[in-house]
Copies of this chain bind each other. A is one copy, B any other.
């Protein structure tokens, strides 16, 4: 009985990478710069208790929180998206075009339901987020990598590949990208939006890190330059509220939104109401601004320490990004060091016991690209652990040269 659908074979490679990733992260004796989880200090536990205690009554929002809810999501959470998250970032949107999803990633799944037939091409950044590549491969998409530099996806290469491959979609993480921490420059954002319109290609803009910026200035999202509805904006509450709540949202034009309604209905009817109601109250009661300042201060300190330690302990010839926000930096080690092989030693050597994510898995090309790279997360480790961990990791790397 292994009469599985073809998509299960198509996704095997990335599924294996993901399974391995998640497996290694859970050893409590390890200092893990691997996962992309927010700091536990950034979780609004007390606020959630306070809100639940207040609204979980039959005469308040208790019935709404536990009864079946709307496919599109709770009305006031959608309003919070429009007013508290999009408007301040320069995006004018109607509540009717916002769908609440079960985590940011679900939007990628739903967008594939809408647009991807087996064999369709999706252009992705090189490197890109392996978890989304897994989704695309489950839909039997053909993922083709577009070159990046320090300013993100390179428009000239994107245009050439649009013309060559006639893709259905372009998947881009414009701000503090996963895995590199890089940010797409403003003029490229405009160019990419225009290419979506000109070539009739969906630009799937996945922007879960944009709201946690620690330095530099906000940039308008690609969606702000979209004149034709070809750009769909996906975002998440994972980094600003809680990842375990699995809350995200999509902003799309009317036609796509009505299809998202159908695909969401046929996926899980609607997103869990209890977290939606509590998250909506989190915004309505004005908790967000202070919480947001607190988490940005927390992560800024961790980023600064991480960067300082990498510069101090990693060998000469290392290149690393300086992310203005988000949770990751990306280090390119001197040639000859294979980070996939090194990882085994890093997590098992009793003098090291440090985890990161090896770079190779983020490259869909599969030609050895990224084999000397690593994604290092600074979000989930206290400053002292960052110092200890990076010192140990640096020592291990230097011993290989």
Interface centre among A37, A64, A269 (most CB of B within 10 A): A269
Given contacts A11-B266, A62-B49, A274-B48, contact A200 B3 (CB under 8 A): yes
Q: Are A138 and B263 in contact (CB under 8 A)?
A: yes
Per-residue CB contact flags for chain A residues 23-37 toward chain B (1 = under 8 Å, else 0) read 000000000000101
Given A57-B49, A228-B1, A243-B66, are A265 and B131 also a contact pair (CB < 8 Å)?
Answer: yes
In residues 8-60 of chain A, which contact B (Cβ within 8 Å)? Answer: 8, 11, 15, 18-19, 22, 35, 37-38, 40, 43-46, 48-49, 52-53, 56-58
Q: Which residues of B contact A265 (CB under 8 A)?
A: 15, 18, 131, 134
Cβ-defined contact, B243 with A268, below 8 A = no
Q: A4-B115, A11-B266 are in contact. Are A68 and B274 (CB under 8 A)?
A: no
Q: Count identical subunits in the complex.
A: 2
A2 and B131 contact, CB distance less than 8 A: no
Question: Cα distance A340–B125 when bound, in Å?
Answer: 51
Name A272's contact: one of B3, B112, B272 (CB within 8 Å): B272
Contact of A266 among B43, B135, B272 (CB under 8 A): B135
| Residues of A in contact, count (CB < 8 Å) | 84
Q: How far is the CB of A263 from chain B (nearest CB, A)?
A: 7
Q: Nearest CB to that of A248 among chain B residues?
A: B268
The reply to whether B244 and A273 contact each other, CB–CB distance below 8 Å, is yes
Chain B positions within 8 Å of A71 at CB level? 22
The answer to whether A242 touches B66, judged by C-beta atoms less than 8 angstroms apart, is yes
Q: How far is the CA of A383 from the CA of B7 in the complex (A)?
A: 49
Chain B residues within 8 Å of A270, by CB: 246
In the complex, A63→B46 CA distance in Å? Answer: 10
User: Are B43 and A66 closer than 8 Å at their CB atoms?
Assistant: yes
> Bound complex: CA of A202 vs CA of B4, how far in Å?
11
Cross-interface CB contact of A113 among B5, B63, B268, cutoff 8 Å: B5
User: Which residues on B sit within 8 Å (CB–CB) of A269?
Assistant: 103, 105, 131, 246
Please report the C-alpha to C-alpha distance between residue A13 and residue B65 in the assembled complex, in whole angstroms. Answer: 31
Known: A49-B56, A53-B49. A2 touches B246 (CB 8 A): no
Pick from B43, B135, B229, B273: contact of A245, CB below 8 A. Answer: B273
Task: Give the residues in chain B near A266, CB-CB below 8 Å.
Answer: 11, 15, 109, 131, 134-135, 138
Asked if A168 is at the interface (CB within 8 A of a chain B CB), the reply is: yes
Q: Is A69 an interface residue (CB 8 A)?
A: yes
The B-contacting residues of A in range 231-264, CB under 8 angstroms, are 238, 242-247, 255, 259, 261-263
Q: Tell me if B255 and A272 are in contact (CB < 8 A).
A: no
13 more A-B residue pairs beyond the given contacts A5-B115, A109-B268, A245-B272, with a C-beta to C-beta distance below 8 A: A1-B228, A2-B255, A7-B113, A18-B265, A35-B68, A44-B66, A45-B63, A49-B53, A49-B62, A65-B244, A102-B102, A102-B272, A113-B138
